[in-house]
Amino acid sequence: MDQDELEEFFTTRRSVRNFDPARSVAKEQLALATTWALNTPSVCNRQAGRVYYFTEQSDVERVLRLQNGNAGFRSSVSAVAVVTVDSRLFTGATERNQRWVDGGLFAMTLVWALHGVGLQTCMLNWSATNKSSQRLRRETGIDGHEDIVVLIAVGHADQGHRVARSERRGLEQVMKFI
């Protein structure tokens, strides 16, 4: 990949909230993206990230109904990923937040990888109560030792879809040389 292609790759990912429901997502594409995401760095190489994909329409809607930020586009989503971390891989008070760092890195790499295989995504927050997490686990069969990091809506963007402007901060606000 040359610099222009990289620039194109990094500047064309945007959260999509308007998918083509008629286009399903191939499991092979999800598997390829996940294989790439295995390269995510992780603390002490513990590789705590896990991902559960739901691709049947009824499952997708059932899972999405448990999350609070997708009501406007739920019915157009072709697949949903639930990204978790295996909490058993972390220990002690000083590591209490490490799972969220490692899980977030895994989720972000996965989103880039899904972009790389030509799919569109929208991350969906799991800023939820323990009770909601227990319900999601119960409905999906996800084990109690897995902490839920984020959900990701996945699909093919609808033709002519529009994305939110989501203006970026200027580089000078974000980066400083010390």
Ligand X SMILES: Cc1cc2nc3c(=O)[nH]c(=O)nc-3n(C[C@H](O)[C@H](O)[C@H](O)COP(=O)(O)O)c2cc1C
Q: Which residues bind ligand X (CB under 6 A)?
A: 14-15, 17, 69-70, 122-125, 150, 163-164, 166
Nearer of residues 98 and 121 to ligand X, judged by Cβ: 121
Q: How far is the CB of 108 from ligand X (least distance, A)?
A: 8
Nearer of residues 69 and 116 to ligand X, judged by Cβ: 69
Q: How far is the CB of 60 from ligand X (least distance, A)?
A: 15
Which amino acid is present at 167? E
Nearer of residues 69 and 117 to ligand X, judged by Cβ: 69
DSSP string, 6-63: HHHHHHH------B-TTSPPPHHHHHHHHHHHTT---GGG---EEEEEE-SHHHHHHH
Question: Hey, how many other C-beta atoms are within 10 angstroms of the C-beta on 49?
Answer: 25
Q: Which residue is nearest to ligand X (CB)?
A: 69
Contacts 24+ apart (CB under 8 A), 2-10: 9/115, 9/116
Nearer of residues 26 and 108 to ligand X, judged by Cβ: 108
Q: How far is the CB of 75 from ligand X (least distance, A)?
A: 14
Q: How far is the CB of 12 from ligand X (least distance, A)?
A: 10
Nearer of residues 91 and 97 to ligand X, judged by Cβ: 97
Q: Rounded distance, CA 57 to CA 78, Å?
A: 7
Q: How far is the CB of 117 from ligand X (least distance, A)?
A: 17
Two tokens at 24? 């399903």
DSSP string, 52-107: EEE-SHHHHHHHHTTSSS-TTTGGG--EEEEEEEEGGG--SGGGTTHHHHHHHHHH
